[in-house]
Structure 1
């Protein structure tokens, strides 16, 4: 169904407000910027900002749903014969090779990370997002593996897989902070993925293999 004019204008307005807010946050830090200042810079009312973004941190994490659902989506869309772990590890390697923003190997990411670290509000939101991601992946694994409702395995595996990804992302942040070049840090990250993958049990590596149609 084609997007109507009204819907397109609303989407464009929301994106414009988000872009303006992000620019201010990058320049001055999250806590130093007010909603009133964002509204003025975006040339909209304060009420309009709140209509699109009920909480201030929503302006910074405007792709939260996409981030939370991404691991689950990758598992749901995995190829036949691939396990959940293989689907996530394959994508992680691809993200690193392509220098995807998801793994922090893009220009300006260090400032983005710094803004988060300097704000207790954003740090709390980040932890909440990580928790939601694990919870949703656990539910997806349970469905994909047709696991018994009382079986804790899907949740435990979700924790391991998301934890592995987070550990690799932290190694990238650390490498860049220590002055490593993007290419060098990316190669180290790919090796780290291999090391961490080797530490996973056969149960985790072969969980929820997708049946061939």
Structure 2
């Protein structure tokens, strides 16, 4: 059938009213929690205060966010999956290192949270909370573990093979250090354009250091 006569693609199914309402409620709770955390500090803010501000029951808050940290760091799933996703979706002929190098450059250029970008007030809130700082370190560990699993799958490594874990540790460390660097510059009051330029330059140097050992690893 000629392309201009083909039927238009079916529209993607839209979420129902109930699902839309749940998403709105979740976002409402998250927004109020973030506002209170920034104003009062994470440790000093209670679930009861968040529930009161959002005009929902305490149980509603915990149903959406089982842990208090989840209220502040509500993009954990996307963060921990990001490196593995970059490797999984790499182009033909592209190595894991090249894919991750490109993914960071794209995230930094777009000033995305996955690369460490966040408003200064939010960065100060996280840095000032031992609980959240510890949770961010845990998320980096989880992201590295997910990357190791994807590298093992991509290379067909046997169970117990340390090569994927070693590669993930090296590649994950670069992303961890760059994330921390972006946060450091944010807390120092640097502008977003300056932070992006500095992060891209440091990323180029860091990934280049790994080229001799990982440049040909896990090529699609």
Which residue matches 2:47?
Answer: 35
- CA shift for structure 1 position 170: 2.5
What is the Cα-based RMSD across aligned positions, in Å? 1.7
Give the counterpart of 2:145 among 130, 135, 140.
135
Aligned length: 208
Which residue matches 1:79?
Answer: 91
Deviates more, 1:67-76 or 1:170-179: 170-179
Which residue matches 1:124?
Answer: 134
Which residue matches 1:50?
Answer: 62
Deviates more, 1:30-39 or 1:123-132: 123-132
TM-score with structure 1 setting the length: 0.90
CA–CA distance in 1 between the matches of 2:165 and 2:108? 26
Which residue matches 1:205?
Answer: 215
CA–CA distance in 1 between the matches of 2:126 and 2:83? 22
- Structure 2's unaligned 5+ residue stretches are 1-12
- CA shift for structure 1 position 153: 0.7
Give the counterpart of 1:184 among 183, 189, 194.
194
CA–CA distance in 1 between the matches of 2:116 and 2:148? 25
- CA shift for structure 1 position 65: 0.8
Give the counterpart of 2:33 among 7, 21, 25.
21
Note if 1:175 corresponds to 2:185.
yes
Larger radius of gyration: 2
Which residue matches 2:3?
Answer: none
CA–CA distance in 2 between the matches of 1:50 and 1:172? 31
Deviates more, 1:56-65 or 1:166-175: 166-175
- CA shift for structure 1 position 131: 1.1
- Structure 1's unaligned 5+ residue stretches are none
CA–CA distance in 2 between the matches of 1:172 and 1:120? 19
- CA shift for structure 1 position 172: 2.7
Deviates more, 1:24-33 or 1:137-146: 24-33
TM-score with structure 2 setting the length: 0.87
